[in-house]
Chain A
Amino acid sequence: AQRVTQPEKLLSVFKGAPVELKCNYSYSGSPELFWYVQYSRQRLQLLLRHISRESIKGFTADLNKGETSFHLKKPFAQEEDSAMYYCALRVTGGGNKLTFGTGTQLKVEL
């Protein structure tokens, strides 16, 4: 079965520092990867998906099939980036089911 691993429960960085939230997956086929974000007291929302290859709020993520990773990166952290981030995987033939990781709490300190 497919699995998503986010090794860090909490990541604390200073404002202006680079951010990298790690995500690894296990799946033998061709996956679709997503990052979702949940700000304090807000609902979970899509941040970006690998197919779009876009940058949202300064964040980017590249799918590395060789390393089975989809790390989320931002060159300069902002205070408003503090949130819970979830990596998610959708597999071929699985309908629209998403498998989520355990999440990483990002805290940006001043």
Chain B
Amino acid sequence: DVKVTQSSRYLVKRTGEKVFLECVQDMDHENMFWYRQDPGLGLRLIYFSYDVKMKEKGDIPEGYSVSREKKERFSLILESASTNQTSMYLCASSPSSRGPGYTFGSGTRLTVV
């Protein structure tokens, strides 16, 4: 029944490492999103994609990049991880029509040491 899958539930990485967070959806959705979730700050949009090979910056894109080579997969890349990127990362998808909203993944808790 799982529709949006994030490959890792917990990750621990070192400062300066290149980090890949993977997200796969099986609902044939056009739109995919990456948010980070921090206590007291809510969900903040990092990047989103409305089609294969298309990407748009969200509200906090600095230090991140994304890749969408296939419709079902949306990857978040931390080019050089820093301690202030320690957070919960949520992936979501939605159809292109303005329907009921997002389907979220279970999240990846990333700790950068």
Contacts and interface: CB of A to CB of B under 8 A. Distances in A.
B42 A101 contact: yes
B101 A44 contact: no
Contacts of B50: 95-96
A52 B58 CA distance: 27
Instruction: Pick the most buried of B58, B101, B104: most chain A CB atoms within 10 A of its CB.
Output: B101
A86 B42 CA distance: 8
Interface string B54-97: 00001000000000000000000000000000000010101110
B102 A46 contact: yes
B111 interface: no
Given A43-B107, A44-B90, A98 B102 contact: yes
A18 to B, nearest CB: 24
Instruction: Pick the most buried of B40, B43, B45, B105: most chain A CB atoms within 10 A of its CB.
Output: B43
Contacts of A71: none
A46 B103 CA distance: 8
12 contacts: A43-B104, A86-B42, A86-B43, A95-B31, A95-B50, A96-B94, A96-B102, A97-B33, A97-B48, A98-B45, A99-B45, A100-B44
Given A44-B43, A90-B98, A103-B43, 12 more contacts: A6-B42, A34-B101, A43-B104, A44-B92, A46-B101, A86-B42, A88-B101, A95-B31, A96-B96, A98-B45, A100-B35, A102-B40
